[in-house]
Amino acid sequence: MMYLRALLLLVLLTAFADDGSKDGRRGNGLYNIGEYEDAITQYQTGLAQYEGEVSGPVPAGLANNLGMALHRVGRYDEALAAFTQSALLANASSDLTRAAYNTGNNAVTLGDLEMALAAYREALLTDPTNEDAKFNYEFIKRKLDEQQQQQQGDNQNQDQNQDQQGNDEQQDDQGEQNEDGEQQQDQQGEDEQQDQQGNQDQQEQDEEEQEQQNPQPDESGEEEEQLSREQAERILQALQDDEEQLLRQVQKMKGRPRRVEKDW
């Protein structure tokens, strides 16, 4: 009787202890043939056997393998949560290194290089001899350095472009000021020419008025003398005498016939 009870207890303990492992092995078989969704179900079933945050190689391994299957089907955020759970359940350095390394690989896929670098660093801290973690850490660090240098170059180019744009705007303003200055000078020149022309016209007008008020001498340089009354009468008498003489000559011409030659 005692033997049967002991045998039954051993069977129960063995069955309970193997539940998670069996689900893990089934999940691994499905994973190897590419049945990732079914593998995910098996890993989740195996983890359900463990309530709470029970540490150990089996739950840590189940969580890690669940993350791997989730990563395969593109469920990267869920994979990240599974790898994080695996690291929390790990009580051996090898399990922690594996979880950290796979977290780094998943972070690279997500494009989070900072997270990947931190994960690879964690893996190296627990296992400095891990060559894969070392190579990936150096590779990601180099990529981050290149991105930082490129960003600095882009910022510098942007600053230079802004400075050049400012210089161009300043030159445009100076060009407009010069153009305005030239227009102002041209307008000022036109105003000065108009003022000079106006002064010249005014000067000529003043000279004409002065000439009208002050008669100029004749070509001989002497001013014309005004005729006296006696001189005027003598000139008039002379004109009358000439006219009478002219009339007498005309009368004589009328009294004498003209001699002509026949033209036929």
For residue 92, the model assigns a pLDDT of: 94
Domain ranges of the chain: 9-150
In 3D space, the residue among 22, 114, 99 whose CA is nearest the CA of residue 67 turns out to be 99
Q: Kindly tell me if the per-residue pLDDT of 251 is higher than 50.
A: no
For residue 126, the model assigns a pLDDT of: 95
Query: Rounded mean pLDDT of the chain?
Result: 77
**Any idea which of 163-172, 173-182, 249-258 has the lowest mean pLDDT?**
249-258
SS (HEC) of 83-151: HHHHHHHCCCHHHHHHHHHHHHHHHHHHCCHHHHHHHHHHHHHHCCCCHHHHHHHHHHHHHHHHHHHHH
**Any idea which of 31-35, 130-134, 183-187 has the lowest mean pLDDT?**
183-187
Q: Are 27 and 42 in contact (CB under 8 A)?
A: yes
Q: Name the pLDDT band for 262 (thresholds 50, 70, 90).
A: very low
CATH, range 9-150? 1.25.40.10
Q: Which residue has the higher pLDDT, 188 or 111?
A: 111
Select the highest-mean-pLDDT range: 51-65, 124-138, 158-172, 208-222.
124-138
For residue 264, the model assigns a pLDDT of: 29
Averaged over 26-42, what is the pLDDT?
Answer: 96
Averaged over 81-97, what is the pLDDT?
Answer: 95
